[in-house]
């Protein structure tokens, strides 16, 4: 599990009267929110070759009434590309000669 972000309402006194919800691309399957703290986590590894970004919406909700206590917040999660595929040389082996003192 990877920490992604956090939502917090000034109206949250830590007494459980405010809960946090998450909607959008991958909410519940790739991303999850702790309903008590508002911490947003990725629960799966992300791969930029599959998807370069996700758009999530989170909201603080009054536990008793079910009504929002703050406007909805939008999170854009940009996935960084890492070199996770080893290089492959399909037509190898290759042979080359480079003379000494050759210009770069």
pLDDT at position 1 is 78
Contact 14/1 with Cβ under 8 angstroms? no
Q: Which of the pair, 103 or 42, is modelled with greater confidence?
A: 42
Alpha-carbon distance of 26 to 100, in angstroms, equals: 55
* CA dist 1 → 20, 46, 71, 99 (Å): 18, 11, 27, 52
Residue 88 has pLDDT above 90, yes or no: no
pLDDT tens readout for residues 91-101? 878 888 889 98
Element holding 55 (H helix, E strand): strand 53-62
30-84 pLDDT, tens per residue?
999 999 999 999 999 898 888 999 999 999 999 999 999 999 999 999 998 877 7
What pLDDT was estimated at residue 17? 93
Give the whole-angstrom CA distance, residue 60 versus residue 9.
Answer: 6
* This prediction's pTM: 0.73
């Amino acid at each position: 599990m990877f920490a992604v972000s956090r939502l917090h309402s000034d109206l949250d006194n830590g007494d459980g009267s405010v809960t946090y919800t998450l909607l959008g691309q991958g909410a519940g399957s790739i991303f999850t929110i702790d309903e008590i703290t508002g911490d947003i986590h990725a629960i799966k590894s992300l791969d930029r070759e599959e998807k370069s970004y996700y758009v999530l919406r989170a909201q603080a909700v009054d536990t008793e009434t079910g009504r929002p206590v703050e406007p909805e917040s939008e999170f854009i999660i940009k996935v960084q590309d890492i070199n996770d595929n080893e290089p492959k040389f399909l037509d190898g082996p290759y042979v080359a000669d480079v003379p000494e003192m050759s210009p770069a």
